[in-house]
């Protein structure tokens, strides 16, 4: 079996590639950076958003294409037929963010935001939840049936540790520097479902080359849900063991929170919803009783990250607003570049 993985270097993709390798599947992975190939994993360097590059890769036929890329709807529309024609199965990574709010555990046929939202301003955008839903519709209306749609929800891994709408750079960095974590009081009380990336990858593996999965949609999540307050407590317990003291945190109301975290639609149309899932459909192929319990999996991933903590770019404008709110200060030697230092100083102190 030959499998092509597009953009598979994130929380799910890296684990899936390892699983494919363990199962001796011949796998080709596109990557924008140069990576070393192994016996049955071949990395090819190129930008999977580049249509000419993709056309070259799709010159050969694939048993399965697994697509982790994020497209605009127009970009997806111009290439989807290439994926469907070049593969026996095209696995499209959508998102459980497509779902509208629900008082019942979510099933794959639950209402989507795209279908029932009355917010005209929101619907006029190509926001992530809407673009993924529109791209699902393009697949469903393509005239092909060799696709499978996967809707993961929030996934964590050894290098991705989210808190509500915040990436680790927006909360964990502060904690490790001895500053106060700033979070949303509204999100803190909501129920969520977070799943270890390896476990989501097991679910994806179970539908690869599976004829029963063609033309079907699956969300792949853990079966247990928790409040964000419980997730925060798991993080704080792990950090206390590592630092020798418990990091401080404060909770802000929505208006103040969105001042430095301008992700209005992600917050209002996802993190403000309680997300609980009925996973019986994917359980035909993978037993999610074996998935990591969040209190174990999340703690282990945090411990692993703390062995060699590396962060992406820090938004110093946001950090200045947080410092201003909690009356704290970031040493200027933490901030790279005169321009960023000046931006921080102006926002923090004026």
pLDDT of residue 34 exceeding 90: no
Pair 272, 164 in one domain: yes
pLDDT for 108: 99
Pair 243, 337 in one domain: no
pLDDT of residue 39 exceeding 90: no
Pair 35, 6 in one domain: yes
206-253 pLDDT tens trace? 999 999 999 999 999 999 999 999 999 999 999 999 999 999 999 999
Cα–Cα distance measured from residue 288 to residue 299, given in angstroms and rounded to the nearest whole number = 19
| Mean residue pLDDT across the chain | 97
pLDDT for 19: 96
Average pLDDT for 302-324: 98
Pair 326, 194 in one domain: no
Q: What is the CATH number of the domain that holds 173?
A: 3.40.50.720
pLDDT for 244: 98
Residue 171 domain boundaries: 2-307
Cα–Cα distance measured from residue 17 to residue 91, given in angstroms and rounded to the nearest whole number = 14
77-95 pLDDT tens trace? 999 999 999 999 999 999 9
pLDDT for 8: 84
Average pLDDT for 88-103: 99
Pair 340, 297 in one domain: no
Cα–Cα distance measured from residue 338 to residue 344, given in angstroms and rounded to the nearest whole number = 10
Pair 276, 322 in one domain: no
pLDDT for 32: 85
- 145 contacts 153 by C-beta, under 8 angstroms: no
Residue 216 three-state SS: strand
Average pLDDT for 157-184: 98
329-342 pLDDT tens trace? 999 999 999 999 99
Cα–Cα distance measured from residue 27 to residue 43, given in angstroms and rounded to the nearest whole number = 8
How much of the chain exceeds pLDDT 90, in percent?
Answer: 96
How much of the chain exceeds pLDDT 70, in percent?
Answer: 100
Pair 40, 133 in one domain: yes
pLDDT of residue 343 exceeding 90: yes
Closest CA to 15 of 156, 217, 150, 153: 156
Pair 263, 327 in one domain: no
pLDDT for 195: 98
Pair 144, 9 in one domain: yes
pLDDT for 37: 81
Pair 270, 145 in one domain: yes
175-211 pLDDT tens trace? 999 999 999 999 999 999 999 999 999 999 999 999 9
Closest CA to 157 of 309, 7, 16, 300: 300
- 231 contacts 194 by C-beta, under 8 angstroms: yes
Cα–Cα distance measured from residue 13 to residue 204, given in angstroms and rounded to the nearest whole number = 10
- The total number of structural domains that make up the chain: 2
Cα–Cα distance measured from residue 147 to residue 164, given in angstroms and rounded to the nearest whole number = 31
pTM of the model: 0.96
Pair 303, 321 in one domain: no
Residue 211 three-state SS: helix
110-155 pLDDT tens trace? 999 999 999 999 999 999 999 999 999 999 999 999 999 999 999 9
pLDDT of residue 9 exceeding 90: no
Pair 54, 88 in one domain: yes
pLDDT for 248: 99
Average pLDDT for 284-297: 97
pLDDT for 134: 99
């Amino acid at each position: 079996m030959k499998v092509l993985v597009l953009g598979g270097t994130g929380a799910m993709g890296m684990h899936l590639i390892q699983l494919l390798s363990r199962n001796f599947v011949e796998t080709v992975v596109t990557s924008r950076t140069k990576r070393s190939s192994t016996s049955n994993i071949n990395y090819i360097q190129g930008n999977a958003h580049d249509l000419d590059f993709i056309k070259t890769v799709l010159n050969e036929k694939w048993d399965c294409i697994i697509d982790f890329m994020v497209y605009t709807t127009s970009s997806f529309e111009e290439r989807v037929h290439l994926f469907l024609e070049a593969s026996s199965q095209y696995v499209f990574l959508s998102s459980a963010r497509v779902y509208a709010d629900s008082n019942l555990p979510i099933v794959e046929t639950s209402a989507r935001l795209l279908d029932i939202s009355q917010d005209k301003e929101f619907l006029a955008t190509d926001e992530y939840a809407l673009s993924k839903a529109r791209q699902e519709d393009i697949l469903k209306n393509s005239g092909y049936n060799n696709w499978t749609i996967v809707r993961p929800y929030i996934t964590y891994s050894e290098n991705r540790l989210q808190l509500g709408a915040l990436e680790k750079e927006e909360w964990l960095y502060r904690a490790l520097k001895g500053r106060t974590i700033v979070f949303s009081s509204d999100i803190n009380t909501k129920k969520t479902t977070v799943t270890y990336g390896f476990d989501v990858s097991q679910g994806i593996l179970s539908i690869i080359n599976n004829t029963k999965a063609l033309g079907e949609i699956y969300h792949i999540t853990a079966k247990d849900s928790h409040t964000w307050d419980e997730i925060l407590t798991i993080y704080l317990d792990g950090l206390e063991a590592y630092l020798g003291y418990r990091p401080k945190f404060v909770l802000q109301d929505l208006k103040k929170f969105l001042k430095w975290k301008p992700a209005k639609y992600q917050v209002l149309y996802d993190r403000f919803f309680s997300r609980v899932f009925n996973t019986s459909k994917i359980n035909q192929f993978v037993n999610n009783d074996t998935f990591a319990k969040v209190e174990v999996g999340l703690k282990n991933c945090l411990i692993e990250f703390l062995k060699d903590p590396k962060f992406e770019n820090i938004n110093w404008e946001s950090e200045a607003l947080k410092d201003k709110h909690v009356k704290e200060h970031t040493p200027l030697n933490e901030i790279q570049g005169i321009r960023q230092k000046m931006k921080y100083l102006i926002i923090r102190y004026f």
